[in-house]
């Protein structure tokens, strides 16, 4: 089963006045056997959609914390096929929670775009966010994804022009990922007033939900962002928590819950 889970989840949230909480972790960090229990724990804590990082050796949009997460995953033996296997295992007990694979184009091309999309569909992936693939590029991947009903999620930044927003808005499905600040993941301080103003402007150019990532670390951050956006994407603070527990991995699922649960509570309080 694949496709439309993201749209259905976002519509269901909107109908009840709630916003999406979207955690991000790197698949296989710090070892492959941690990923699926962590995913289930995050859903139990209130995650609506999970972004699962496909580890890559040169993740240039990621800050040091997420880069180290990718390095640990690769060192632990995680591969792109392993990421898809993790999604398949997750789907054995959860057919509802949308899964978005986030990463870079090189591993996808190495596997083959059509083979990759076939595997995504078979494993239960719902969407793809390929950081270094603009809407105009990689036609074969775009075609293969659309045929298999995989959402293609694109990024917009504070520097994105209106003309570019129009192009991205026409290509994005599922949701638009708005990068709340200039720079890499985990950098800078979140300027919530600026983000609110920017989202209101972006809504003039796109019809899909807008979810915000980069810089969301606390329950307060998540709540403030979700008062304007359709969802809050949380990554670096979770990967940092995983890093702190690399020698005690059994504690990782509960530790992730301790971050996500307060965010869920704070976001629901403003609904």
10 Å CB burial of residue 151 (0-12, 13-18, 19+) is: buried
List 29, 51, 138, 221, catalytic entry: 51
Look up 51 and say whether it is catalytic.
Answer: yes
The C-alpha atoms of residue 205 and residue 226 are separated, in whole angstroms, by 19
Cα–Cα distance for residue pair 63/230, rounded to 1 Å? 24
62 is catalytic: yes
Burial profile 28-51: b = 16 or more Cβ within 10 angstroms, e = fewer: bbbbbebbbbbbbbbbebbbbbbb
Beta bridge partners of 20: 231
- Specify whether the CB–CB gap between 211 and 20 falls below 8 A: yes
Tokens representing residue 138 in the block: 């990689």
Q: Is 117 exposed, middle or buried (0-12, 13-18, 19+ CB in 10 A)?
A: buried
Check residue 93 and report its DSSP letter. Answer: T
- Cα(46)–Cα(74) distance, rounded to whole angstroms? 28
Tokens 């708005």 sit on residue? 178
- β-partners of residue 232 are 21, 212
Question: Which residue among 7, 29, 48, 62 is the active-site one?
Answer: 62
The alpha-carbon radius of gyration of the chain (Å, integer) is 17
Cα–Cα distance list, 76 to 25, 57, 79 (Å): 15, 13, 9
Q: Which residues are catalytic, by number?
A: 51, 62
């Amino acid at each position: 089963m694949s496709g439309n889970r993201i749209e259905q989840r976002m519509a269901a949230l909107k109908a009840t006045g709630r916003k999406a909480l979207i955690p991000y972790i790197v698949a296989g960090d710090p070892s492959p056997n941690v990923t699926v229990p962590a995913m289930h724990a995050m859903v139990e804590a209130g995650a609506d959609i999970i972004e699962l990082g496909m580890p890559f050796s040169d993740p240039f949009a990621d800050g040091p914390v997420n880069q180290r997460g990718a390095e640990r995953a690769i060192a632990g033996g995680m591969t792109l096929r392993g990421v898809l296997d993790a999604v398949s295992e997750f789907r054995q007990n959860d057919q509802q929670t949308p899964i978005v694979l986030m990463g870079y184009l090189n591993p996808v091309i190495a596997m083959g775009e059509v083979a990759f999309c076939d595997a995504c569909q078979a494993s239960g992936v719902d969407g793809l966010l390929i950081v270094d693939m603009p809407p105009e590029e990689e036609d074969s991947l775009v075609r293969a994804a659309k045929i298999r009903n995989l959402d293609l999620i694109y990024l917009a930044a504070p520097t994105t022009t209106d003309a570019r927003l129009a192009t991205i808005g026409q290509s994005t499905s599922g949701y638009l990922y708005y990068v709340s600040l200039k720079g890499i993941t985990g950098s800078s301080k979140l300027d919530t007033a600026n983000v609110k103003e920017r989202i209101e402007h972006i809504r003039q150019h796109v019809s899909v939900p807008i979810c915000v990532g980069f810089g969301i670390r606390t329950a307060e951050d998540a709540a403030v962002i979700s008062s304007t956006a359709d969802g809050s994407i949380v990554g670096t603070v979770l990967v940092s928590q995983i890093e702190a527990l690399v020698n005690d991995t059994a504690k990782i699922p509960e530790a992730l819950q301790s971050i996500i649960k307060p965010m869920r509570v704070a976001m629901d309080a403003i609904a």
